[in-house]
């Protein structure tokens, strides 16, 4: 007996569709899809959130010295002439970064192997400028603290009704 629903697709098509649905669910928090697709995506998303909850606090904070370009009031880099060439002027600043421990790094790579790179529009009405969204840090920083005390059951499937075209049961699949 098969352990996965084939969803009338080849293996590569099915994996791509489920990865895309999982990415959209984590990016937006809820999606509208069919019942069988939602049940399959649930098998992908729930372990990712559980992994994020497990590894959320597994990092160390490190302070480093970094060179940052000086900028003027317009946000442009300040340049000065040295030996007839324009050179950018830099400041040395202390930055605090999170350094992942090995198990958190492995978890991050596991999540990156499942999720697609995502981006959203800065202004949804104009749809011109996009910004990239780091879904892994969204899992670690937003969802892990939210679900820290919860043991499973991170998603909810709410039935909407049959779709008009083919009478497939549509659901609202959301994070609790």
Tens digit of each residue's pLDDT (9 = 90 or more) over 104-116: 999 999 999 999 9
Q: What is the pTM of this model?
A: 0.84
What average pLDDT is seen over the chain?
Answer: 93
Cβ-based neighbour number of residue 83 at 10 Å: 5
Whole-number pLDDT of residue 57? 93
Which distant-in-sequence residues (6+ apart) come within 8 Å of 86 by Cβ?
A: 79, 80
pLDDT digits (tens, 9 = 90+) for 9-38: 999 999 999 999 999 999 999 999 999 999
Domains within the chain, CATH numbers bracketed: 13-58+101-175 (3.90.1030.10), 59-100 (no CATH)
Whole-number pLDDT of residue 121? 84
**Cβ proximity of 79 and 87 under 8 Å:** yes
The tokens 């946000």 sit on which residue? 75
**Cβ proximity of 52 and 22 under 8 Å:** no
Whole-number pLDDT of residue 2? 63
pLDDT digits (tens, 9 = 90+) for 137-161: 999 999 999 999 999 999 999 999 9
- Name the phi and psi angles at 128, rounded to 5: -115, -50
């Amino acid at each position: 007996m098969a352990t996965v629903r084939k969803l009338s697709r080849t293996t590569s098509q099915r994996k791509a569709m489920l990865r895309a649905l999982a990415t959209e669910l984590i990016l937006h928090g809820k999606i509208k899809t069919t019942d069988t697709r939602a049940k399959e995506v649930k098998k992908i998303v729930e372990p990712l959130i559980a992994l994020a909850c497990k590894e959320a606090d597994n990092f160390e904070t490190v302070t480093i010295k970094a060179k940052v370009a000086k900028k003027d009031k317009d946000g442009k880099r300040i340049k000065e002439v040295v030996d007839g060439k324009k050179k950018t002027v830099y400041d040395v600043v202390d930055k605090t970064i999170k350094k992942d421990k090995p198990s958190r790094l492995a978890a991050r790579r596991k999540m990156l192997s499942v999720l697609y790179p995502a981006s959203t529009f800065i202004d949804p009405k104009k749809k011109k400028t996009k910004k990239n969204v780091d879904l892994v840090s969204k899992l670690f920083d937003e969802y892990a603290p939210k679900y820290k005390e919860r043991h499973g059951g991170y998603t909810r499937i709410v039935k909407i009704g049959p779709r008009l075209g083919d009478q497939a049961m549509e659901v609202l699949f959301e994070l609790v």
